[in-house]
Each structure stands twice: as structure tokens, then as C-alpha cells.
Amino acid sequence: MANIAQSYHHSSNLGCEDFVPHCLDPGSQLHLTAAAYESFGEVVRRARMWIAQQGTEIRVTNIQSIDYKIKHTGDDERKYM
């Protein structure tokens, strides 16, 4: 039994994959328009497609959604806070 567990442990890898919403429209400070990003549902769709493409090679154990505040700087770049 110890040999089976040991060989399984050595053949396992741990990894992660990030799926970030794509920016559809950066918005404008001049025209006071907010940036637009793809929907949460679209991000989930891309993640599901990626998982399906991996076949049985991976085992998903955790999926998380994390909110980030984005600061709009003067040079029209978005920065994670």
C-alpha cells in the first residue's frame, strides 16, 4: 500500500490557471465613461472550455472568483489595488 501511494504522489502535479475578464472597452476619463469587461458568465465559459480541452489529465479541486478594485490612473492605465 505504501508503494502505491508513493508512486501516485510522484506522478501528481499541482498547478493553477487564471481566467481574467477581457477588457471590451477601456472607457474614457475625458468622456466620463467606465471601462467595460466581458461578463462573469463568459469568463466561466472560457474556463469550462479549457477544462474540457484538458481531458482526463487534470482533476479540478478548487475554483474561486476574486474581486479586485481597479484604480484608474491619469495615463489611462488600469492598476490592481
List pLDDT tens digits, range 26-52: 888 787 888 899 999 999 999 999 999
- Comparing CA positions, the residue from 36, 35, 60 lying closest to residue 48 is 60
Q: Whole-number mean pLDDT of the chain?
A: 77
- Comparing CA positions, the residue from 39, 38, 63 lying closest to residue 50 is 63
pTM attached to this predicted model: 0.62
| Per-residue pLDDT at 72 | 60
Residue 57 carries which DSSP code? G
Where do the structural domains in the chain lie, given as residue ranges?
A: 19-60+69-81
Residue 11 pLDDT grade (very low, low, confident, very high; cuts 50, 70, 90) = low
- Asked whether the predicted pLDDT for residue 22 surpasses 60, the reply is yes
